[in-house]
A and B are shown apart, each in its own frame.
Chain A
């Protein structure tokens, strides 16, 4: 079926598209301005979230499981002390050697995270000679492009910021817990004191003032790589990290498009 596109309708279409393009940033700015007034993010008043795009990545081979990052996060963000509330935590993977003659490439996989790895890790119960390989994996909010937590919040209390963070407005959260159920990575919890959902904010109160997140600041091995994609510095660590490594994301089959990337990740990591 042929469809005639007249000059008038073409001009109309182009005009509409141009209008939409011009109006879009204004609408976004207006929305951001409204959020600035109504939503407390911890950022200073002059901070413009449209001028940044934050990202954190991990080099698994660099993590030594010291737990300083977990401790720094708990202290910086007043995360409840109990071992069931973490904005970031470290998992230890121990993969046993396969049984001789089993025909397997690897043996049993043992994962643990005592107190989220905050106090480091006790010696492994698996004798050294039986271990095929072992490594530590730091975890935090995966900063999804299509965040299921944001999608399911019934009141819009959790939201994507233009600079890449996913935040929760504790003054608006009703504490239904739907976002916690929807997060495939177990990165959220219900704060037992405020009774609202809580998660990693990338230390929004720090990064919006030009500082690094607390966990990045204290990491002794630079296993956590943090940067601003919109303002790369010379030899930018994030750009270098992506250029030098083959990176993966967690649970890519779920279509959440996590922005947090891991280098040197084993297939057992979920």
Chain B
């Protein structure tokens, strides 16, 4: 059986290949730590996508704007759960905020998280929805009406001047939000990139790779969710919107692939002490998840499909483009998950003695097993379902194709 496949088998003592320091034989950071950067990456990416509409005035993306923000919120709420469940002492988690040790990047988690959710995402959503909350609190009966009224927090001024002020404040928050999104995920990359003991992690490009992969995965998730929601609601897909999402997805993925390629080029060329063990890792233990999952499924195929929609647009009809966008997005969402796996698990599969490999044996149940990890991956979608039911209802028409200013719709093929 291939070593990677053995990860699916029941837990037991890890088979060792070569020499591994005794304390390293069992992996410490489990699949939950794979889920954590994946989820925060989706948050950062979805927010960046929303900011394209608000700050960069890409009006074609407007139908997916609120969906992107709600996606970011649903995933952000769930983001700390895998970390919390992984701690040896979850009941001491508040120590990170009460007595932070400032030389530790992990000590920043509480502050970065609190800043992002309180000062950026919730505020932006509130200013964006404030006018609607007031209108809905007057028109919607029952508990939903009461909820909307509660969410207005007593501010019911929807005069053009007040709404204009909301817009201005929303724009300002988004401008602050973009570097904050970079901070949120760049810092996760820094946690790994700053570990000089581990040559697979300790890398100055790591925060940048994390940021780009986050943007790519977030936009891809928005594409998938947009398709899914329009399909469920029997609505028409806004071609201009998906064309635009496909364009940004392509360029973001291109940048991401370049940075990750540069990382490998640098590793291979500088050929430091660890290069032999890393090459064996990539070709052996991580063959399926790195070369097939991350490189082929998550990068090469989407790049080809998205590239064709950009370069060969006149001969790629809309119906094919729509399929290409969806397939690419699905590939990217899976490929970025594989990338997180490769970073987190891959970095612990080889010994810091650089002389051998261990095996990750994940159990089905238990605190760090497949079931909990799966649940944590599904939970944001359940939360998103509730948020959509409350704030993105069919009658709100948010997903419908909208009239675009002429400048925002690319009339000519992209070179």
- Taking a contact as CB atoms under 8 Å apart, the answer to whether B101 and A156 are in contact is yes
Given contacts A155-B95, A155-B100, contact A196 B89 (CB under 8 A): yes
Within 8 A of B (CB), among A99-129: 109-113, 116
Q: Which residues of A contact B93 (CB under 8 A)?
A: 174
- Taking a contact as CB atoms under 8 Å apart, the answer to whether B25 and A84 are in contact is yes
Please measure, in the bound complex, the distance between the C-alpha atom of A83 and the C-alpha atom of B26, giving whole angstroms.
11
- Whole-angstrom distance from the CB of B74 to the nearest CB of chain A? 25
Q: Which of B4-12, B103-111, B313-321 is found at the contact surface with chain A? A: B103-111
Of the residues B28, B86, B101, contact of A181 by C-beta under 8 Å: B28
Q: Which of A53-61, A185-193, A219-227, A233-241 is found at the contact surface with chain B? A: A185-193
- Taking a contact as CB atoms under 8 Å apart, the answer to whether A175 and B197 are in contact is no
Of the residues A91, A155, A184, A195, contact of B107 by C-beta under 8 Å: A155
Please measure, in the bound complex, the distance between the C-alpha atom of A91 and the C-alpha atom of B103, giving whole angstroms.
33
Identity of the chain A residue whose Cβ is nearest the Cβ of B351 in the assembled complex: A186
Within 8 A of B (CB), among A39-84: 83-84
Q: Which residues of B contact A186 (CB under 8 A)?
A: 21-24, 351-353
- Taking a contact as CB atoms under 8 Å apart, the answer to whether A152 and B105 are in contact is yes
- Whole-angstrom distance from the CB of A227 to the nearest CB of chain B? 26
Identity of the chain B residue whose Cβ is nearest the Cβ of A118 in the assembled complex: B22
Of the residues B18, B28, B105, contact of A180 by C-beta under 8 Å: B28
- Taking a contact as CB atoms under 8 Å apart, the answer to whether B88 and A175 are in contact is yes
Please measure, in the bound complex, the distance between the C-alpha atom of A150 and the C-alpha atom of B103, giving whole angstroms.
9
Centre residue among B23, B88, B191, B352 by max chain A CB count within 10 A? B23
- Taking a contact as CB atoms under 8 Å apart, the answer to whether A85 and B23 are in contact is yes
Identity of the chain B residue whose Cβ is nearest the Cβ of A198 in the assembled complex: B23
Centre residue among B88, B194, B352, B354 by max chain A CB count within 10 A? B88
Identity of the chain B residue whose Cβ is nearest the Cβ of A176 in the assembled complex: B87
The answer, yes or no, to whether A20 is at the interface (CB within 8 Å) is no
Of the residues B28, B104, B196, contact of A184 by C-beta under 8 Å: B196
Please measure, in the bound complex, the distance between the C-alpha atom of A29 and the C-alpha atom of B28, giving whole angstroms.
37
Interface size on B, residues (CB 8 A): 40
Interface string of B64-89 (1 = CB under 8 A from A): 00000000000000000000001111
Identity of the chain A residue whose Cβ is nearest the Cβ of B106 in the assembled complex: A154
Q: Which residues of B contact A148 (CB under 8 A)?
A: 195-197
- Taking a contact as CB atoms under 8 Å apart, the answer to whether A155 and B89 are in contact is no
Of the residues B26, B96, B107, B197, contact of A182 by C-beta under 8 Å: B197
The answer, yes or no, to whether B19 is at the interface (CB within 8 Å) is yes
- Taking a contact as CB atoms under 8 Å apart, the answer to whether A152 and B88 are in contact is no
Identity of the chain B residue whose Cβ is nearest the Cβ of A268 in the assembled complex: B355
Interface string of A146-159 (1 = CB under 8 A from B): 00101111111000
Given contacts A111-B353, A173-B89, A175-B88, contact A152 B22 (CB under 8 A): no
Q: Which residues of A contact B18 (CB under 8 A)?
A: 111
The answer, yes or no, to whether A207 is at the interface (CB within 8 Å) is no
- Taking a contact as CB atoms under 8 Å apart, the answer to whether B89 and A187 are in contact is no
Q: Which residues of A contact B23 (CB under 8 A)?
A: 84-86, 180, 186-189
Given contacts A176-B106, A181-B29, A254-B197, contact A84 B22 (CB under 8 A): yes
Identity of the chain A residue whose Cβ is nearest the Cβ of B201 in the assembled complex: A181
Q: Which residues of B contact A187 (CB under 8 A)?
A: 23
Identity of the chain B residue whose Cβ is nearest the Cβ of A269 in the assembled complex: B353
Interface string of B94-125 (1 = CB under 8 A from A): 01100111011111010000000000000000
Given contacts A84-B23, A155-B107, A195-B88, contact A174 B28 (CB under 8 A): no
Identity of the chain B residue whose Cβ is nearest the Cβ of A183 in the assembled complex: B197
Q: Which residues of A contact B104 (CB under 8 A)?
A: 151-154, 178
Given contacts A174-B95, A181-B197, A270-B353, contact A113 B89 (CB under 8 A): no
Please measure, in the bound complex, the distance between the C-alpha atom of A89 and the C-alpha atom of B353, giving whole angstroms.
14
- Whole-angstrom distance from the CB of A178 to the nearest CB of chain B? 5
Please measure, in the bound complex, the distance between the C-alpha atom of A176 and the C-alpha atom of B93, giving whole angstroms.
9
The answer, yes or no, to whether B308 is at the interface (CB within 8 Å) is no
Identity of the chain A residue whose Cβ is nearest the Cβ of B30 in the assembled complex: A177
Q: Which residues of B contact A113 (CB under 8 A)?
A: 19, 21-22
The answer, yes or no, to whether B300 is at the interface (CB within 8 Å) is no
Q: Which residues of A contact B92 (CB under 8 A)?
A: 155, 172-175
Please measure, in the bound complex, the distance between the C-alpha atom of A204 and the C-alpha atom of B26, giving whole angstroms.
27
- Whole-angstrom distance from the CB of B268 to the nearest CB of chain A? 20
- Taking a contact as CB atoms under 8 Å apart, the answer to whether B87 and A174 are in contact is yes
Please measure, in the bound complex, the distance between the C-alpha atom of A85 and the C-alpha atom of B23, giving whole angstroms.
5
- Taking a contact as CB atoms under 8 Å apart, the answer to whether A111 and B19 are in contact is yes
Centre residue among A150, A151, A184 by max chain B CB count within 10 A? A184
Of the residues A151, A154, A180, A189, contact of B109 by C-beta under 8 Å: A154
Centre residue among B100, B109, B355 by max chain A CB count within 10 A? B355
Please measure, in the bound complex, the distance between the C-alpha atom of A113 and the C-alpha atom of B353, giving whole angstroms.
12
Q: Which residues of B contact A181 (CB under 8 A)?
A: 28-29, 195, 197-198, 201, 348
- Whole-angstrom distance from the CB of B29 to the nearest CB of chain A? 6
Q: Which residues of B contact A196 (CB under 8 A)?
A: 88-89
Please measure, in the bound complex, the distance between the C-alpha atom of A178 and the C-alpha atom of B101, giving whole angstroms.
13
Within 8 A of B (CB), among A250-265: 254-255
Q: Which residues of B contact A153 (CB under 8 A)?
A: 101, 104
Please measure, in the bound complex, the distance between the C-alpha atom of A181 and the C-alpha atom of B22, giving whole angstroms.
14
Identity of the chain A residue whose Cβ is nearest the Cβ of B91 in the assembled complex: A174
- Taking a contact as CB atoms under 8 Å apart, the answer to whether B198 and A151 are in contact is no
Q: Which residues of B contact A156 (CB under 8 A)?
A: 99, 101
Q: Which residues of B contact A176 (CB under 8 A)?
A: 86-88, 106
Can you identify 26 A-B contacts, CB atoms within 8 angstroms? A84-B22, A85-B23, A89-B22, A91-B19, A111-B353, A148-B195, A151-B103, A152-B195, A154-B100, A155-B99, A155-B107, A156-B101, A174-B87, A174-B92, A174-B96, A175-B88, A175-B89, A176-B86, A181-B28, A182-B195, A185-B21, A185-B352, A186-B22, A186-B352, A188-B23, A270-B352
Query: Which 3 residue pairs spanning A and B have beta carbons closest together?
Result: A175-B88, A186-B21, A195-B88
13 further A-B contacts with Cβ under 8 Å, apart from A113-B21, A180-B28, A184-B197, are: A84-B23, A84-B26, A86-B22, A150-B103, A154-B104, A155-B101, A174-B88, A174-B93, A175-B87, A175-B89, A186-B22, A187-B23, A194-B88
| A residues adjacent to B (C-beta < 8 A) | 83-86, 89, 91, 109-113, 116, 139, 148, 150-156, 172-178, 180-190, 194-196, 254-255, 270
